[in-house]
């Protein structure tokens, strides 16, 4: 178990600069009003930074070097996932099932996923969950927790106390869908109840019974027969959350289940430590966004692939070929902290930013970040950096999206190189509205989203 805990420790890590000083009194949203705010015809949930004191279940305060090393583990995991080389973990619950399942790849919870609440069951009860665009199947820890459950805020979900709970039989189509939703095939109990296994790239996992229940949306609206996992063996450090909501592209993901009533898509604004953001389903204003097409990929049809076509620093394009940007596939991800770029693109970006900041004293590399300067971000004249995507959609990054304070005396460029998969991370997405319009196969960006 000690090895498992060390491998899964990255699940609880934070997603932004360690130097932000935020007091509990500065929270801009109170927990009593955050649950299910209807926005027009859609659903709007309050979203919290994982280390914010505003969060209903703040994650532990860890050294930023640890955050970065675990962020690298998530990026490495995605590379392995795309090459189908990530093994499963084992669970006693599976050993008691009627069939065995072979090794295959899993999903990744990640280091920087943001926190929100859902209301499940009849009568409805509130549970704190992390939101992840890299996962499809949603799950909650459930009593009687036959094998193991991690500590969470509030009580476990009790399926026997919900009048609308039901388990999913092995003969149901939802059970067949687990192979694509979890990248693991379903198992089956002797009583023919479908068993899911959500395994993660770090070796952690949730195993339990595929289930249905009512998900409350506020103002008397409900999603009946919401399909999710009722976890009986949940091993790893998941913070003090009760589980996860999966936002990836799959039949069993939450956006897909909302699609018939709210449309197939969602949007979010990832907040800083000092604020709150939102996770919204339906009711977006398409005119406020600039869009880039989602890119189809045979590598993994549940992830969100897009095409980065250019980066400018101080209004000037980087001196690399157009093909340098497409030398690796690019995904956008809510749980990776630091953006990864193709090696040549990163090298050119690092050189351009260093040239713009040549009047400042350089600092040694810090973990995976190698373009660092003495002093805090507030004292640097950071150049304007734009990330341009296919179709012209642009992220015009503020200084806080470009650089990151790693300690009280060092600031680094918040990008890193990758030779296998480029990832648009959450540091660069913070405070932007990002819409995943899955129905129209496009992703949109708009500035000033969390206000």
Write the DSSP string, 343-362: HHHHHHHHHHHHHHTTTS-E
- Least Cα distance to 72 among 138, 10, 157 occurs for 10
* Of residues 317 and 222, more confidently modeled: 317
Lowest-pLDDT choice from 135-149, 261-275, 302-316: 261-275
Cis peptide before 412 (omega within 30 of 0): no
- Least Cα distance to 231 among 176, 173, 179, 159 occurs for 159
**Residue 8: what pLDDT?**
24
* Of residues 114 and 260, more confidently modeled: 260
d(CA 434, CA 114): 14
Beta-strand pair 394-397/385-389? antiparallel
Q: What's the chain's average pLDDT?
A: 84
| Beta bridge pairs of residue 237 | none
d(CA 84, CA 275): 38
d(CA 326, CA 345): 10
d(CA 73, CA 68): 9
DSSP summary character for residue 84: T
Concatenating the DSSP letter of every residue in 366-415 gives BTTB--EEES-GGGS-PPPEEEEEGGG-EEEE-HHHHEEEEETTEEEESE
**Residue 239: what pLDDT?**
74
d(CA 254, CA 265): 10
Burial of 288 from C-beta contacts in 10 A (0-12 / 13-18 / 19+): middle
Question: What is the average pLDDT across 155-184?
Answer: 96
DSSP summary character for residue 336: -
Identify whether 301 is a catalytic site residue: no
Q: Could you count the other beta carbons within 10 Å of the beta carbon of residue 243?
A: 27
pLDDT at 98 > cutoff 50: no
pLDDT at 217 > cutoff 70: yes
Sorting pLDDT into bands at 50, 70 and 90, what band is 420? Answer: very high
pLDDT at 448 > cutoff 80: yes
**Residue 207: what pLDDT?**
95
**Residue 238: what pLDDT?**
74
∠ at Cα 78 (75, 208), nearest 5°? 115
d(CA 234, CA 210): 14
Q: Could you count the other beta carbons within 10 Å of the beta carbon of residue 245?
A: 24
- Least Cα distance to 301 among 328, 326, 329, 327 occurs for 329
- Least Cα distance to 259 among 42, 446, 434, 433 occurs for 42
- Least Cα distance to 150 among 82, 241, 43 occurs for 241
Distances (CA, A) of 450 to 24, 131, 284, 335, 446: 19, 17, 14, 18, 10
Contacts of 234 (CB under 8 A, 6+ apart): 139, 141, 145, 148, 149, 150, 205, 206, 207, 208, 243
Beta-strand pair 410-413/403-407? antiparallel
Identify whether 437 is a catalytic site residue: no
Question: What is the average pLDDT across 345-353?
Answer: 98
Q: Which listed residue (132, 202, 233, 250) is catalytic? A: 132
| Beta bridge pairs of residue 166 | 212
d(CA 449, CA 451): 6
* Of residues 166 and 1, more confidently modeled: 166
- Least Cα distance to 19 among 322, 438, 421, 379 occurs for 379
- Least Cα distance to 258 among 219, 293, 227, 290 occurs for 227
The SS3 of residue 41 is coil
Q: Could you count the other beta carbons within 10 Å of the beta carbon of residue 386?
A: 15
- Give every strand in the sheet of 403-407, ordered side by side: 362-363, 372-374, 410-413, 403-407
Question: What is the average pLDDT across 168-188?
Answer: 95
pLDDT at 196 > cutoff 90: yes
What does the block give as tokens for 340? 């990864």
> Could you read off the pLDDT of 231-267 as tens digits, one per residue?
999 987 577 889 999 999 999 999 999 999 889 999 9
pLDDT at 416 > cutoff 50: yes
Sorting pLDDT into bands at 50, 70 and 90, what band is 21? Answer: very low
Question: What is the average pLDDT across 65-78?
Answer: 84
How far is residue 428 CA from its own chain's centroid? 14
Q: Which listed residue (202, 213, 250, 333) is catalytic? A: 333
């Amino acid at each position: 178990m000690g090895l498992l805990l060390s491998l899964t420790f990255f699940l609880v890590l934070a997603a932004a600069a360690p130097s932000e000083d935020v007091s509990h009194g500065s929270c801009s949203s109170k927990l009593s009003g955050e649950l299910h705010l209807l926005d027009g015809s859609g659903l709007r949930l309050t979203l919290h930074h994982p280390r914010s004191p505003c969060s209903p279940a703040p994650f532990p305060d860890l050294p930023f070097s640890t955050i970065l090393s675990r962020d690298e583990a998530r990026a490495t995991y995605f590379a392995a996932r795309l090459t189908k080389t990530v093994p499963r973990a084992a669970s006693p619950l599976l050993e008691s099932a009627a069939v065995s399942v072979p090794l295959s790849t899993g999903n990744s919870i990640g280091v920087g996923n943001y926190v929100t609440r859902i209301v499940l069951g009849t009568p409805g009860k509130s549970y704190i969950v992390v939101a992840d665009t890299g996962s499809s199947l949603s799950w909650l820890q459930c009593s009687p927790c036959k094998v193991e459950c991690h500590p969470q805020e509030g009580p476990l979900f009790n399926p026997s106390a919900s009048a609308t709970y039901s388990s999913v039989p092995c003969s149901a189509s939802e059970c067949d869908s687990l192979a694509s939703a979890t990248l693991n095939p379903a198992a089956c109990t002797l009583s023919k109840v479908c068993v899911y296994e959500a395994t993660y790239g770090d070796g952690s996992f949730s195993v339990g019974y595929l289930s249905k229940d009512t998900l409350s949306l506020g103002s008397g609206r409900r999603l009946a027969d919401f399909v999710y996992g009722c976890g009986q063996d949940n091993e790893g450090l998941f913070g003090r959350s009760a589980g996860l909501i999966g936002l990836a592209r799959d039949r069993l993901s939450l956006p897909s289940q909302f699609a018939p009533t709210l449309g197939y898509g969602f949007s979010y604004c990832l907040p800083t430590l000092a604020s709150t953001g939102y996770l919204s389903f339906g009711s977006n204003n398409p005119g406020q966004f600039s869009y880039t097409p989602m890119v189809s990929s045979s590598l993994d049809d549940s992830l969100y692939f897009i095409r980065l076509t250019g980066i400018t620093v101080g209004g000037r394009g980087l001196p690399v070929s157009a093909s340098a940007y497409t030398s690796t596939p690019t995904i956008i991800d809510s749980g990776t902290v630091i953006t990864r770029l193709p090696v040549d693109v990163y090298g050119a970006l690092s050189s351009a930013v260093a040239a713009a900041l040549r009047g400042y004293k350089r600092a040694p590399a810090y973990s995976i970040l190698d373009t660092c300067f003495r002093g805090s971000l507030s004292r640097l004249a950071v150049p304007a950096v734009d990330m341009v995507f296919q179709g012209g959609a642009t992220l015009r990054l503020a200084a806080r999206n470009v650089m990151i304070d790693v300690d009280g005396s060092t600031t680094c460029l918040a990008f890193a190189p990758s030779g296998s998969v480029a990832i648009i991370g959450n540091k660069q997405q913070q405070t932007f509205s990002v819409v995943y319009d899955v129905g129209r196969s496009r992703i949109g960006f708009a500035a000033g989203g969390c206000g």
